[in-house]
Homo-oligomer: A and B are copies of this chain.
Amino acid sequence: MPRPSREQVLAEIRGTALRLFVDQGFAATTLAQIGAEVGYSKSAMLYHFGSKDALLVAALDEPLRRLSEFLTATAGRPALERLEAFVDLVLAHRHEALLLVSQGPLLKQLGTLGTSPDDLLASYLGDDPSLARQVSVLMTFTGLAETAAALAEVPAAELRTPLLAVAARTLDLVTTLR
């Protein structure tokens, strides 16, 4: 069989690294461990990404861009429709979502990221940055990510409906639903 292209290899490394960072934490994850899971040596990780920090940044870059694009693309949509798309996005990328909400301090001290989680929150807040609204959005955002990750064994198709119903309540969109 043909050996995989460079971008395929890099993508696999990024994905594996991200998963391990989420499961064990960034500091507790070893370059050698990441390498072993994808069938390469620790040196190969450093050859491709230069440093462990750079690997984290690279692994976060795509999810962050996808999320950022989603937020701008759905900025004008009706709230419920937007939420629906957001739930699907979280379900499709549970690991990434969890990392973004649960590793706040780590991401802040990293600095070199294009978009910060705070920007994303502000983008969802829209024109109402009241404390009540902040709490609603934060509860939804973090709750969705944590819950989808905690119920990792439940398939997305099964999890989608209850997740959407609860999130709609949290955001006070129930009247729209009924």
Q: Is A50 among interface residues, defined by CB-CB distance under 8 A?
A: no
List 7 A–B pairs whose Cβ atoms lie within 8 Å, in order of A's numbering.
Answer: A136-B162, A138-B143, A139-B143, A139-B166, A142-B146, A143-B143, A169-B169
Distance in angstroms between the alpha carbons of A26 and B103 in the assembled complex: 12
In the complex, the answer to whether A147 meets B142 with C-beta atoms within 8 Å is yes
Q: Is A135 among interface residues, defined by CB-CB distance under 8 A?
A: yes
Chain B residues with Cβ below 8 Å from A138 are 143, 146-147, 150-151
CB of A134, distance to nearest CB on chain B (Å): 7
Would you list which residues of chain A between 1 and 46 have a CB under 8 Å from chain B? Answer: 23-28
Q: Is A54 among interface residues, defined by CB-CB distance under 8 A?
A: no
Chain B residues with Cβ below 8 Å from A101 are 146
Q: Copies per complex?
A: 2
Count of chain A residues with Cβ under 8 Å from any Cβ of B?
39
Distance in angstroms between the alpha carbons of A150 and B166 in the assembled complex: 21
Chain B residues with Cβ below 8 Å from A131 are 151, 154, 158-159, 162
Q: Give 9 closest A-B pairs by Cβ, nearest first.
A: A143-B143, A142-B146, A139-B143, A27-B28, A27-B27, A138-B147, A135-B162, A132-B162, A170-B170
